[in-house]
Amino acid sequence: MSWHLAASFPVLAVDLAGLPGTFIAFGLGGLLIGFVAGVAVMRFRRTPAVIAAQSQEAARRSLAEQRYAEAEESYRKLFDSSIEGIYVTTPDGRLLNANPALARMMGYNSPQRLIHEVTDIAHTIYVDPAVRTEYQLRMSRVGMVRDFEYQVRRQDGSLLWLSDSATAIRDEAGEVIRYEGTVRDITNQKQAEAALAESRRRLQEVIDTVPAVINVKDTRLRYVLMNRYMARIFSIEPDDAIGRTTTDLMSRYGARKTDDNDRRVMETGKELGFYEEEYIDSSGAMRQWLVNKLPLRGADGEIENIVTVALDIGERKRVEQEMRKAKDAAEATLRNLKETQNSLIEAEKLAALGRLVAGVAHEVNNPVGISLTVASSLERKVAMFSDEVARGNLRRSSLNDFIESGRSASSQLVSNLNRAAELIQSFKQVAADRSYSDQRSFDIADLTDQVVMSLRPGVRKKNLTLTVDCKPNLIMDSYPGPYGQVLTNLFLNSVAHAFPAGEGGEVQIKVKEAGEDHVEVLFSDNGCGMSADIRRRAFDPFFTTRRNEGGTGLGLHIVYSIVTSRLGGRIHLHSAPNEGTRVQMILPRVAPAELAPDSG
């Protein structure tokens, strides 16, 4: 099928003179009629004037025909080579003409086949026939459409997006007789727009899940993005915020502060770093935020947007304040607890010392009582001997008996008074060591013997056997008082807990070397032992199994504190039910001087 411009376009406007608005209308039918009429006139009227006029008319017609042919050829080339689709349709949807570009768009190998196969555009080409109706309404009202977008179906069923710009052609009566237009394939553009819209939707969904204020502004400080968290805080719809400024939306919330910081980002070209700020929310409550603002740059390196991220730290601030209050309260409680603990420790120390004094007093009372009895007996014998001497009837037997009695009494007095003196001296030494908290050198064997001597009254009273095995000449540079208190507390603890029924038992103290720089002190008994739970908590403060009997639970805690703090050593407890208890202490020969003072 050959292409004929006259068949496609009954009227064609061509700019002949190159001046706007000067057009000559041509039609092939009119041209033929004029040519036949001219021939007839030339046959009947051959006068010179007529011949001249006819020659001029023929020249004009020849020029017009030549220009018409040139215009037609130019239009044909433009029509065929255009990359945009060109069409002519009737209002009822018949396709009158199409160029090759339109045929290629629609998937046909030629315009002729496209025109032949497409007989109803609304239902064959348009995906949505209602769009064709909208197209016709616009043509009827304004006579044109510009960038009218719609989807069409190609020959293979695939879909395209087209942008249509067309004009309605009317007859002399003003009726629309055809539509002439061009279409552009905007499928890629639509896909890119859809992908961009999908990306924005996903981005919006993501930032909407973040429990923080997130927004993006352009360089005119107008919102281009806002998450729903921020929208809820300030009672704003995210879509309503787009294109508006902070001042437009939130003037009552402190817009000037945020605008000033946005301008700082644009001026410096750097992010501000996190800083704290306060804003009033839609309910009127003051809220604390941790804010950061940073620039987003385009491909040319220029700032295009400003991103704001703000974390609500109000709860953290409240928690911090509560934690500070709780910390202050805990510190006050701890101070009170330490004061109470120190008071109880002092009370325990005094109680232990009191028990020690009572035991020593009882032990000293025996030799002193015996000495007093012997002295009283000797006093009576001296009086009787004096009476015999005064009467003059002194016999040798009486003198010998008096001398023997005096010798025996003197011997008993010396023995018992020496015993009392030793006990008193030992007690004085232990008491002095307890009150003497400075570091000094001492022989641990001698000090252990002195402490044990003060403990022996309790041993006999409880029917216990106390054996000591100390290697001599182990010189310590440490704290004798705290060491003595450790042995005393361990002994009193064994007396109170290891032998609850009052049955006899054995307590052992062994001291030996543990390398060149340490000594090992092993305190053990063969009493009832401890369960695993009691052993695990034995050194805890205020833990006792005899609270109903007046126990404070500080005896072994004091031992642990003294050994690990003042003496700088290590302590290990080994015990099992019915297998006795063994306390192993590894003490440095030279106690560290920089440790905390003895809590006991």
pLDDT digits 0-9 by tens, 177-186: 999 999 999 9
Q: In whole numbers, what is the pLDDT of the chain averaged over residues? A: 78
Domain 340-588 is of which CATH architecture? 2-Layer Sandwich (3.30)
CB 184 within 8 A of CB 279: no
Q: Is the pLDDT of residue 360 over 80?
A: no
DSSP state of 302: -
pLDDT at 148: 94
As given in the structure block, the two tokens for residue 82 are 């255009």
Do the bridges between strand 95-98 and strand 159-170 make them parallel or antiparallel, or are there none, so unpaired? unpaired
- DSSP output for 348-407: HHHHHHHHHHHHHHHHHHHHHHHHHHHHHHHHHHHHHHHHHHHHT---HHHHHHHHHHHH
Q: Alpha helices of 82-186 — where are they, by DSSP H?
A: 100-105, 111-117, 121-124, 129-142
130 CB-near residues (< 8 Å, 6+ apart): none
CATH number of 192-312: 3.30.450.20
First to last CA, the chain: 119
Provide the pLDDT confidence category of residue 44 given band limits of 50, 70 and 90: very low
For residue range 290-347, list pLDDT tens digits in order. Answer: 889 999 998 888 999 999 988 888 778 888 888 888 888 888 888 887 777 666 666 6
- List Cβ<8 Å contacts ≥24 apart for 216-222: 216/296, 216/305, 216/306, 216/307, 216/308, 217/262, 217/305, 217/306, 217/308, 218/304, 218/305, 218/306, 219/266, 219/303, 219/304, 219/305, 219/306, 220/245, 221/245, 221/246, 221/259, 221/262, 221/263, 221/306
CATH 3.30.565.10, the chain: domain bounds: 340-588
85-185 fold: Beta-Lactamase (3.30.450)
Q: What is the mean pLDDT of residues 491-503?
A: 80
* Adjacent-strand bridge partners of 403: none
Q: Is the pLDDT of residue 20 over 90?
A: no
Provide the pLDDT confidence category of residue 35 given band limits of 50, 70 and 90: very low
Do the bridges between strand 213-218 and strand 223-226 make them parallel or antiparallel, or are there none, so unpaired? antiparallel
Provide the pLDDT confidence category of residue 160 given band limits of 50, 70 and 90: very high
Instruction: State pTM to two decimals.
Output: 0.38
Alpha-carbon distances, residue 587 vs 36, 491, 520 (angstroms) = 141, 18, 6
CB 507 within 8 A of CB 466: yes
Q: Is the pLDDT of residue 545 over 60?
A: yes
- Which of residues 145 and 390 earns the better pLDDT score? 145
Taking the C-alpha atoms of residue 585 and residue 523, their distance in angstroms, rounded to an integer, is: 8
pLDDT at 600: 41
Alpha-carbon distances, residue 371 vs 113, 409, 462 (angstroms) = 147, 8, 25
pLDDT at 251: 63
113 CB-near residues (< 8 Å, 6+ apart): 103
As given in the structure block, the two tokens for residue 3 are 């292409």
Element spanning 167, H or E: strand 159-170
Element spanning 264, H or E: helix 255-268
As given in the structure block, the two tokens for residue 263 are 């301008």
Strand residues in 246-352 grouped as ranges (E): 275-280, 286-297, 303-312
CATH 3.30.450.20, the chain: domain bounds: 85-185, 192-312
Q: How many CB atoms lie within 10 A of CB 549?
A: 9
Please name the residue that has the structure tokens 């607890």.
337
pLDDT at 11: 36
